[in-house]
Amino acid sequence: FTYTFTTFTNLEYLKFGSSSIICSRLSFYTLSPFIISSNLLELHVDLEYFTDCLYLCDGRFNQLHTLDVNILRIQCSNLIINNAQKLPKLKYFSLFCGNDTYAYDELILPLLHRMSNLEKLYLYVLIYGRESFIDGNEMNSNIINHMPYLNTFTFNIYSFIYFNYQINLLSNEEIQNSFKNFKYNEVISCVDYFPKTEIGQCHIYSYPYQLEHYDTITNNFPGGIFTCVHRILLFDERPFENEFFLQISRSFPFLQKLTVVNRKRQNNKAFRTQNNANENISIIRYPHLTELDLTAAHIDYVKQFFFDTKTCLPNNVFLIIDYQLMKKTTRNFRRNLTRSNCAKLNCILFYRKLTFPEHFQDYFPHTNIL
């Protein structure tokens, strides 16, 4: 990073990080921060810590109008960094962090308040440690009202609360109503409360959806068509029924990687056999699926995907699963109901793998076993 600026002294645009030729994240913990440029106008960079972002915003790039940061960790630090100086030149700011943060109010908001001339803003964050969800009222008070020139605001935000002592829990309708006067774009919300862990989850995002992944989809999934999404994770403390998987297959037509995290047994397992006349209509298909992870799923979901009366898998799927679950589902690899879908697997990663029976290879004729 330092070499780049010493070599190209008139640099105006820089993309530095995992998507560039140099596959690394920038961190001033191991790199001298003594870099100054009055020429740099646009910077796209992958960072290790939020404090690295503060270094970039401490005045060393005083003509910067576009800053796009992908940060691995957003956490408080003892380092003393200039986090008060206004950033009047900055017009576009994008912040993406795929890991949990407990420092939204302490770190992210103060940085945004320095960007009073911002015109475009994108946020992707997973927020813990607050007493309330992030909703439209929160965004108006703490973000929008501080940016009078903002004309584009796109976001994808998960906020999580512990509700063990709370009585008046917000509904999804209340969260959705908080965006009724939101002028930038359509906003979709989804609220869930998980009694077992006493955690509440609120997912709000700008529609149409822009990311290639969609995590923590529950039974409250609001639906829609997500043509850009290739990877999803399904999670709930309530069971997923056949109709839910049918909706998922329709909402994500180009799905490639699917993970199911659900330990609850299905309630309507007999649905398929009682409606034989509709079998051809309701068989679920995932035409682009390449990876299926069922390591944290109840056996009913193994049956959901491998009974050929419920699902038709495409060829060349990579399966990750507990060996004992697969053995039980296939009745020691002899069951005809699961044979056709198993024959389509090109690779299986087994957990708790034991000795295979002699006829095992006949059941998986084209499959590599890891």
Q: Rounded to two decimals, what is the model's pTM? A: 0.89
Query: What would the pLDDT profile of 64-103 be if each residue is shown by its tens digit?
Result: 999 999 999 999 877 666 677 899 999 999 999 999 999 9
Tell me the backbone φ, ψ of residue 244, rounded to 5 degrees.
-65, -45
CATH class for the domain made up of 209-370: alpha beta
pLDDT of residue 271: 47
pLDDT of residue 21: 47
Measured over all CA atoms, what is the biggest interatomic distance in the chain, rounded to whole angstroms? 73
Answer yes or no: is pLDDT of 325 > 70: yes
- From residue 130, alpha-carbon distances to 161, 163, 180, 216 in Å are 6, 11, 23, 19
pLDDT of residue 370: 85
Q: Which two tokens stand for residue 29?
A: 């913990």
Residue 261 and residue 268 in contact, taking contact as beta carbons nearer than 8 Å = no
Residue 11 banded pLDDT, cuts 50, 70, 90: confident
SS3 at position 155: strand
Query: What would the pLDDT profile of 232-261 be if each residue is shown by its tens digit?
Result: 999 999 999 999 999 999 999 999 999 999
Who has greater pLDDT, 294 or 3?
294
> What 8-state DSSP symbol labels residue 361?
H
> What 8-state DSSP symbol labels residue 325?
H
pLDDT of residue 1: 60
Query: What would the pLDDT profile of 294-321 be if each residue is shown by its tens digit?
Result: 999 999 999 999 999 999 999 999 999 9
**Across the chain, what does the average pLDDT equal?**
90
Of 30-34, 104-108, 216-220, 301-305, minimum mean pLDDT range: 30-34
Mean pLDDT of 201-222: 96
For 189, what's the count of Cα atoms within 13 Å in the CB-facing half-sphere? Answer: 20
pLDDT of residue 9: 66
Per mean pLDDT, which of 17-21, 40-44, 83-87 is the most reliable? 40-44
Residue 59 banded pLDDT, cuts 50, 70, 90: confident
Query: What would the pLDDT profile of 267-286 be if each residue is shown by its tens digit?
Result: 987 545 444 544 445 899 99
Domain ranges of the chain: 209-370
Query: What would the pLDDT profile of 139-167 be if each residue is shown by its tens digit?
Result: 999 999 999 999 999 999 999 999 876 77
pLDDT of residue 77: 76
pLDDT of residue 320: 97
pLDDT of residue 279: 47
Who has greater pLDDT, 24 or 215?
215
Percent of the chain with pLDDT over 90: 73
At CB < 8 A and 24+ separation, what contacts does 113-116 make? 113/146, 114/57, 114/83, 114/84, 114/85, 114/86, 114/87, 115/87, 115/90, 115/146, 115/147, 116/86, 116/88, 116/146, 116/147, 116/148, 116/149
pLDDT of residue 187: 97
Residue 253: which of 287, 209, 223 has the closest Cα? 287
